[in-house]
Chains A and B, each alone.
Chain A
């Protein structure tokens, strides 16, 4: 069961505070070396392709091991570990700084907070896509459609450009850019952050925003750092249900929400599942959720291929699944389990997909702790959809491509949701 852990946390490293320049003791250097060996060996032994896609892994070791031996700070050591993993050119291989665990384990005021701003890239610019009700940003009047031009006096554009350049050709550019901006906005709860905006009438504006506890309830699974989870559901029309959640996490809570949605909306014209911004989570939950919408036994949302085993994402239909039209909303920040779910349901002809191409980061992965205390995320399998499509580096292509527009954001309009609702209404008329 737990092997099919799906995945997320692509930019945990970005969200973590800087390590500082404190020099390392001999014992810490040894732990970093041990960590390097663990990472190198794990990839060699567990990467699903024994040939590592033709990569000369031994040469990578010979080149980089001396560098981690020479690393004077933890930050430098992490750069070497990350450089090693970067050679695989795959998502879901990452080093998570130990501070991420320490900060998040600390609880209370030590935990990560944010001003309540959701970020998406629109035309290469970082845009406020949503403001959490009751958040510090809402209290200061921040509105969707405002461009974020700087954080703490540093311009956003160069960082965004650097990601675009370094990730040229990748489907993950927008995801990483948005994560990068979000990471800059995040910090200790109670510690304010100064943000420069270009507001609706193109006027520049600088605001100091508090950082508050993130939305949702804290949740943990194994070696993943603690994350906040939330799920919400409502009717977007009297006969159209809508559900949205930030992670495929907390199985009992999430599945209960789907049960309530489906049983309470049995006569609905259709349902909308909004996966925009959802980075994934527990892989098995993709099939668990799918069971509420598929009545025929023997269906699957594709399969993962480890080095020696192919494991189907088998769907077990619920006793009374919802059989009406189903729309799934995605965007460039929908990743991993979100992609497996969306592509799987599309493949089976069970859902219509609306929005923009997803991140193309869909590898089942697991998290381990390294000897130096850092977390190590690594993919244990490739993923292919039922029809044989690999999502890694490709993403889910929506049936109806609808991009985000600044004007829509400023007007409070959700064109993607509107299209989904329209499709559901047309299906019944």
Chain B
């Protein structure tokens, strides 16, 4: 269920950043990260439901706070690790980002085509993993509970996930509900090491799973909000949807 990774994917697409000030409380008897991550799977619908989903199409809108810049977002995802993000921003144009599980790329009206390499590619492939929460052991070499921290007045478990390549991802799970409410990471890209923080909220049931419908991301002194408008699981996605566009293929030939 890739909706929960919308913020991260948009973060990569937008390459924006925001630093998260951390207030870590000393906490005894913290649950293991494994327990928190498994609980998240359960409270959002359960492993069995996740395992019955094989693809997803989500649509929504985005807005940059205060600037009057808005756009439409569509995300296509499929097993095992294919995705395509389409963002159409009024006055700027189209931004595409995707992977077929091997090649990770972006293509924008402004910047043109770009092939991702190194940690940037690794992160794109991790983010593309369908039902990623079921596969965290494959995606991260280490997961540990780092403490309890208040997010928007709610105590949350802070879980740090460390991949084999790239920067760690810190996730905050509400102690009471078990839901993911915040994600913080430093994105490695040609634009630099950019801190990105996203807040997930407005969970609603879609096809048997709880999906965050509101995502607010802070990056580089800017705030972008995303609103999920529709989610379709197991929707048919044309096979060639995840193929790189011609402009990207031209780069691959070089």
Residues on A facing B (Cβ under 8 Å): 1-5, 46, 219-223, 250-252, 255, 282, 284-285, 287-288, 291, 298, 300, 303, 306-314, 316, 318-320, 366-369, 380-381
Q: Of the candidates A2, A285, A316, which one forms a contact with B69 in the assembled complex, judged by CB atoms under 8 Å apart? A: A2
B67-102 CB contacts (< 8 Å) to partner A: 67-70, 89-93, 95
Interface-side segment among B121-129, B132-140, B191-199, B203-211: B191-199
In the complex with contacts A3-B221, A251-B110, A380-B222, A222-B95 CB distance below 8 A: no
Question: A311: which B residues are within 8 A, CB to CB?
Answer: 15, 17, 191-192, 194, 220
Q: How far is the CB of A375 from chain B (nearest CB, A)?
A: 10
A262 to B190, CA, bound (A): 25
In the complex with contacts A1-B15, A284-B111, A308-B19, A303-B221 CB distance below 8 A: no
Q: Chain B: how many interface residues by the 8 Å CB criterion?
A: 42
Question: A2: which B residues are within 8 A, CB to CB?
Answer: 14, 64, 67, 69, 89, 92, 222, 224
The listed residue with most A CB atoms (<10 A of its CB), out of B14, B16, B67, is B67
27 residue pairs bridging A and B, Cβ less than 8 Å apart = A1-B13, A1-B16, A1-B110, A2-B69, A3-B222, A5-B67, A46-B221, A219-B91, A222-B69, A251-B110, A255-B109, A255-B110, A255-B112, A288-B110, A291-B111, A306-B17, A306-B221, A308-B221, A309-B195, A310-B192, A313-B191, A319-B250, A368-B66, A368-B67, A369-B66, A369-B68, A381-B221
Q: Is the CB of B254 closer than 8 A to any CB of chain A?
A: yes
Q: Of the candidates A221, A314, A366, which one forms a contact with B222 in the assembled complex, judged by CB atoms under 8 Å apart? A: A366
The answer to whether B68 and A291 have CB atoms under 8 Å apart is no
Q: Is the CB of B178 closer than 8 A to any CB of chain A?
A: no
Q: Of the candidates B67, B219, B221, which one forms a contact with A223 in the assembled complex, judged by CB atoms under 8 Å apart? A: B67
Q: Top 7 closest A-B pairs, CB basis? A: A221-B91, A314-B190, A319-B250, A222-B69, A222-B68, A223-B68, A288-B110
B233-254 CB contacts (< 8 Å) to partner A: 247, 250-251, 253-254
Q: Is the CB of B114 closer than 8 A to any CB of chain A?
A: yes
Given contacts A1-B14, A288-B108, 19 further A-B contacts (CB under 8 A): A1-B15, A1-B110, A2-B222, A2-B224, A3-B220, A4-B220, A220-B91, A222-B69, A223-B67, A251-B110, A255-B110, A255-B112, A308-B17, A309-B194, A311-B194, A314-B190, A316-B111, A367-B67, A369-B66
The answer to whether B221 and A309 have CB atoms under 8 Å apart is yes
Q: Is the CB of B147 closer than 8 A to any CB of chain A?
A: no
Question: A318: which B residues are within 8 A, CB to CB?
Answer: 112-113
Q: Is the CB of B18 closer than 8 A to any CB of chain A?
A: yes
A4 to B89, CA, bound (A): 14
Q: Chain B residue with minimal CB distance to A380?
A: B221
Question: A312: which B residues are within 8 A, CB to CB?
Answer: 190-192
The answer to whether A316 and B19 have CB atoms under 8 Å apart is no
Q: Of the candidates A313, A319, A369, which one forms a contact with B254 in the assembled complex, judged by CB atoms under 8 Å apart? A: A319
The answer to whether B69 and A221 have CB atoms under 8 Å apart is yes
A322 to B193, CA, bound (A): 30
A255 to B113, CA, bound (A): 12
Q: How far is the CB of B186 from chain A (nearest CB, A)?
A: 10
Q: Of the candidates B17, B110, B194, B219, which one forms a contact with A284 in the assembled complex, judged by CB atoms under 8 Å apart? A: B110
The answer to whether A282 and B192 have CB atoms under 8 Å apart is no
The answer to whether A222 and B91 have CB atoms under 8 Å apart is yes
Q: Chain B residue with minimal CB distance to A318?
A: B112
Question: A320: which B residues are within 8 A, CB to CB?
Answer: 250
In the complex with contacts A1-B13, A309-B195, A314-B190, A222-B221 CB distance below 8 A: no
The answer to whether B69 and A308 have CB atoms under 8 Å apart is no
The listed residue with most B CB atoms (<10 A of its CB), out of A222, A300, A366, A380, is A222
Question: B113: which A residues are within 8 A, CB to CB?
Answer: 316, 318-319
Question: A314: which B residues are within 8 A, CB to CB?
Answer: 189-191
A368 to B67, CA, bound (A): 5
Question: B91: which A residues are within 8 A, CB to CB?
Answer: 219-222, 250
Question: A380: which B residues are within 8 A, CB to CB?
Answer: 220-222
